[in-house]
């Protein structure tokens, strides 16, 4: 009673101090409770991983901001084994079976909440940001129409470019035609005296990739290769995807605008990119169903879609959201870097191309290109060593739990696999730091089983429900561009010191690259049309 009386007679100042002490004590007790739970009582407590990663997702966030998150996953697996706890409720895996169990068609998972938090319009989900399988499949079917054989090869014969990916092509029409048109422009720019003689090939190959994507999505290229006024959008795209990476790790930081406050330059770049993308989309929508020539672009199919139940067209918000997603592209720079670093690979590839083709215009989808085994091998090895998406696509286990690599996990746990970890795993790829296209060629001591094992241990374009719908287009662009560059030009690395290490890949959700820096000279007897 005396103590209670003493408390009630405290001065206001003393009462405030006591209240602050009690609040601080409660917070400290709560913090200690959380720490003890996450370290010792959490369902994932038995899995190894960095100490601070077990306590907070800010560990992963800091790693992500340092731009080498994908490589860090590889380091963690080397240190801790095939299963690593990289967050309080997050596990990373690195076996082929785990990849199939997490990303395959039958996987009982959905996308992580971070994907919804980072969408450009909080009220409208896109194919990319849709969390659940069924609505994602519906959206994907719409999107896939733009990448279908009839779309990319519209008005082509039965043996056009789509057949190339079935292994029995005969002619160049449709999709290949507009890709080759852009590659011709690209090759002319490489030796155009009005352009800089030494070129950052990451930039120039991005110009090419986005001009191709402009043709696919809008029916018109962005003209980045020929007009430097359009190139401003590249760093904006990088800001956009980097903000998606950071926001995907801790969704509430993105949702509440904390990331925008912490990184104003990233925020301003993301906002400007969305604004510029919406301008281009609005301009395309003003043309309605009109397409360029016989080939139908993406928006032709998006505008033509009708809901099977209501008959309603896609809303303007949905069209804008999907359009922002589509303005992305990959890069071919990694493959070129390693061909320059390993001259014997460049020499063998050139010999193959010279023996198959008598003119550059023959390098198109057709029976001759399908015989270029070493070209395909170089592309596969380039995708392995410089993945277009090096990081992790996190998934959340749904109700009922799931089995991953023979072990059961409850719902609510976040799981994933880093592409970089697979690509540089010595178990599946001996000497993973070495560019060795022969991994994909049946010859000498390399058997067909060895080649299949390599292909089944790494998936540069994902697999299952979320498999990249533009994979065939990407491969076509890779084959035709690398094939024509090596056939046409003597390529000289202008910064030999950059070839001493491996190609630097920064994990910005997709990938940020720089270099190689090179100059180009037409080989004797070669010309660009």
Identify any residues that bridge with 83 across adjacent strands, giving them in sequence order.
Answer: 93
- Among left, alpha and beta (phi > 0; psi -120 to 50; other), residue 73 is alpha
CA–CA distance from 32 to each of 27, 45, 452 (Å)? 9, 16, 50
378 marked as part of a ligand binding site: no
- Among left, alpha and beta (phi > 0; psi -120 to 50; other), residue 151 is alpha
* C-beta atoms surrounding 268 within 10 Å: 13
Burial group, residue 448, by CB count within 10 angstroms (0-12, 13-18, 19+): exposed
Identify any residues that bridge with 519 across adjacent strands, giving them in sequence order.
Answer: 492
CA–CA distance from 399 to each of 92, 107, 170, 410, 500 (Å)? 20, 12, 49, 8, 49
Whether 140 and 462 have beta carbons less than 8 Å apart is answered as: no
Residues 6+ apart with CB under 8 A from 128: 115, 119, 325
Dig out the tokens for 147 from the structure.
Answer: 């990448």
Dig out the tokens for 489 from the structure.
Answer: 């030009």
CA–CA distance from 356 to each of 181, 318, 353, 372, 373 (Å)? 21, 46, 5, 8, 11
Length of the chain: 529
Burial group, residue 52, by CB count within 10 angstroms (0-12, 13-18, 19+): exposed
Distance between CA atoms of residues 363 and 528, nearest Å:
13
Handedness of CA 513, 195, 234, 271 (dihedral sign): positive
Binding positions for heme are 468
Q: Which residues are annotated as a binding site?
A: 468
């Amino acid at each position: 009673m005396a103590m209670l009386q003493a408390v009630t007679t405290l001065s206001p100042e003393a009462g405030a101090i006591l209240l602050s002490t009690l609040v601080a004590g409660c917070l400290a007790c709560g913090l200690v409770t959380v720490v003890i739970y996450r370290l010792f009582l959490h369902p994932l407590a038995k899995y190894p991983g960095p100490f601070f990663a077990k306590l907070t997702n800010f560990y992963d966030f800091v790693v992500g901001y340092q731009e080498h998150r994908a490589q860090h996953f590889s380091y963690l697996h080397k240190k801790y084994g095939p299963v690593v706890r990289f967050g309080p409720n997050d596990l990373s895996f690195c076996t082929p079976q785990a990849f199939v169990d997490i990303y395959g068609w039958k996987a009982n998972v959905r996308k992580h909440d971070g994907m919804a938090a980072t969408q450009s319009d909080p009220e409208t989900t896109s194919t990319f940001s849709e969390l659940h399988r069924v609505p994602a499949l519906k959206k994907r079917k719409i999107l896939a129409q733009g990448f279908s054989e009839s779309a990319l090869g519209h008005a082509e014969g039965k043996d056009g470019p789509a057949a190339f990916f079935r292994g029995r092509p005969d002619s160049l029409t449709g999709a290949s035609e507009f890709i080759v048109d852009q590659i011709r422009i690209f090759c002319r720019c490489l030796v155009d005296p009005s352009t800089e003689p030494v070129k950052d090939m990451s930039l120039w190959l991005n110009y090419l990739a986005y001009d191709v994507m402009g043709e696919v999505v809008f029916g018109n290229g962005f003209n980045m290769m020929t007009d430097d006024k359009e190139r401003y959008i590249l760093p904006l795209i990088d800001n956009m995807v980097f903000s998606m990476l950071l926001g995907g790790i801790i969704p509430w930081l993105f949702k509440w605008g904390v990331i925008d406050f912490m990184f104003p330059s990233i925020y301003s770049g993301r906002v400007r990119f969305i604004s510029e993308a919406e301008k281009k989309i609005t301009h395309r929508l003003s043309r309605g169903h009109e397409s360029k020539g016989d080939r139908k672009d993406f928006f032709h199919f998006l505008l033509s879609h009708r809901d099977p139940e209501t008959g309603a067209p896609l809303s303007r918000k949905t069209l804008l959201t999907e359009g922002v997603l589509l303005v992305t592209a990959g890069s071919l720079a990694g493959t070129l870097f390693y061909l320059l670093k390993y001259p014997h690979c460049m020499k063998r590839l050139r010999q193959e191309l010279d023996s198959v083709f008598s003119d550059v215009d023959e390098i198109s989808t057709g029976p001759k290109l399908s015989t270029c085994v070493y070209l395909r091998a170089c592309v596969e090895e380039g995708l392995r060593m410089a993945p277009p998406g090096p990081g992790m696509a996190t998934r959340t286990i749904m109700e009922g739990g799931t089995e991953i690599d023979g072990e059961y996990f409850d719902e609510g746990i976040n799981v994933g696999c880093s592409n970089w970890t697979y690509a540089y795993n010595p178990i599946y790829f001996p000497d993973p730091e070495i560019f060795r296209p022969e991994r994909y060629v049946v010859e000498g001591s390399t058997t067909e089983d060895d080649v299949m094992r390599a292909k089944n241990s790494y998936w540069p374009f994902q697999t299952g429900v979320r498999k990249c719908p533009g994979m065939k287009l990407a491969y076509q662009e890779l084959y035709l561009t690398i094939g024509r560059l090596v056939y046409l030009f003597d390529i000289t690395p202008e910064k030999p010191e950059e070839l001493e290490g491996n190609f630097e890949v920064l994990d910005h959700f997709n990938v940020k690259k720089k270099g190689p820096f090179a100059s180009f000279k037409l080989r004797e007897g070669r010309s660009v049309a």
